[in-house]
A and B are shown apart, each in its own frame.
Chain A
């Protein structure tokens, strides 16, 4: 618990990074919300997936959560504070564990404004319309968004801890999800359900073309376990020079 508190304190006392990510997230979600709600509000009937898509807009926050996870791991290497961290806690896997919990907490906090913005906007603009309903399905998606946030926070952290370089980790994640996996999927269609991107979509839900939760969650969990093991292995062996 002490180590988790220390990690949260690191985030809070170097708050500019978190603030920057938060502002970027708010900007993206706000733009998405305006586009989605404003156009729907002009139509006499709301689109059938209007309410679930509000959660979909909030789900763009997972990009920022992943980035936060990467930064929580790599900032220490960038500024050399990892030396002091490992002096205080020489059992390095304990540091990784504390960082993972801190990344999840910070990531979940980041989801809150991403959810509040579209839901409040929809309530204000179309809340009094009879065809607007934010109910069980949507709250289920909200729950899955919180779960996905926890998972991608750890994903970012493990990749950051394995690579230690901020830019390298971010480029790897974006490159993998945007270019490598689509290429693999196109060349070997049978593998699609076992790739990170589709598995992420399946855990998140709301996309009818994504694999089911029951199929996606074990795949994503397997990736996390493998990346976590790699991060622990490399972190333990790494010389801090």
Chain B
């Protein structure tokens, strides 16, 4: 759905993105993580055709953004909360976007209602709080009812209620089958909504994995409890999978996924009482991988 291939972008002597490649799968919420200056925003802007790469390419639905037939009906984007003319009302801001994209006035009202901004719609955007601006940005992104959403730090400026609202909105949009790529430094938020994460550091690819797996990888373990623990242990060892620790009928396994262990147990008719990634935060994984 979104594919970045060997992307490199330099600004004078600074390499913002360095031979970066990853692929975002269709219908999933993917987190795009990295410390400040990791190249996340630059990458997203290349994906959206706003920045020209020095090498490599980025495609959405198999084509560069500039070549999409109706870009805003296919891809919605939130990049900054300050992309407004301060003297233009929220409604007029959306009317201008709607005119450029061919969306109807009725759709303007729909998205205003969706982001709960109807009451403030006729006020000047210059007087909006940061949270209201984020909502307006999101309304603009949703104007074309796109299949793909690219969101750069959409929770910026939102209060806890706003963050919860955003989480629920994104989950409902994903439930409709949309593909969402979301960059954020609020790792706890990403952990709650993202199916997978891509981590970049200093412009380079670091890791891509399902969120739970990545967190488990950082903590070093998948918890496996079985009444046939000895047999399972020897099967894992035969498969070259490292056992982190063992206590009674509990094993903590490193370097494997829950899927691998589950399939191994099933293939050998081993009963499992527990199979779970050890509870740990994405933050730990993130800090470990970007240290």
Contact = CB atoms under 8 A, between A and B. Distances in A.
B79 A83 contact: yes
A241 B44 CA distance: 10
B185 to A, nearest CB: 19
Nearest to B82: A80
B164 interface: no
A39 interface: no
A80 B45 contact: no
Contacts of B89: 13
Contact size range, B? 20 to 34
A241 B42 CA distance: 7
B71 A90 contact: yes
Interface in B37-63: 42, 45, 48-52
A9 B82 contact: no
A75 interface: yes
B72 A87 contact: yes
A90 B100 CA distance: 11
B86 interface: yes
B96 A10 contact: yes
B106 interface: no
A239 interface: yes
A139 interface: no
A192 interface: no
Given A3-B100, A6-B99, A13 B50 contact: no
A90 B73 CA distance: 13
Contact of A83 (B52, B68, B80, B87): B80
Nearest to A16: B87
Given A5-B99, A13-B89, A14-B88, A83 B72 contact: no
B65 interface: yes
A88 B101 contact: yes
Contacts of A89: 71, 100
Contact of B85 (A75, A88, A91): A75
Contact of A239 (B51, B72, B77, B82): B51
B123 interface: no
Contacts of A3: 100
A5 B79 CA distance: 25
A79 interface: yes
B86 A79 contact: yes
A42 interface: no
19 contacts: A5-B99, A6-B99, A9-B92, A13-B85, A13-B92, A14-B85, A80-B80, A80-B84, A81-B85, A84-B83, A84-B140, A87-B50, A88-B72, A88-B97, A90-B65, A90-B66, A90-B71, A240-B51, A241-B50
Closest 8 A-B residue pairs measured CB to CB? A6-B99, A13-B92, A6-B100, A240-B50, A90-B66, A88-B100, A80-B83, A239-B51
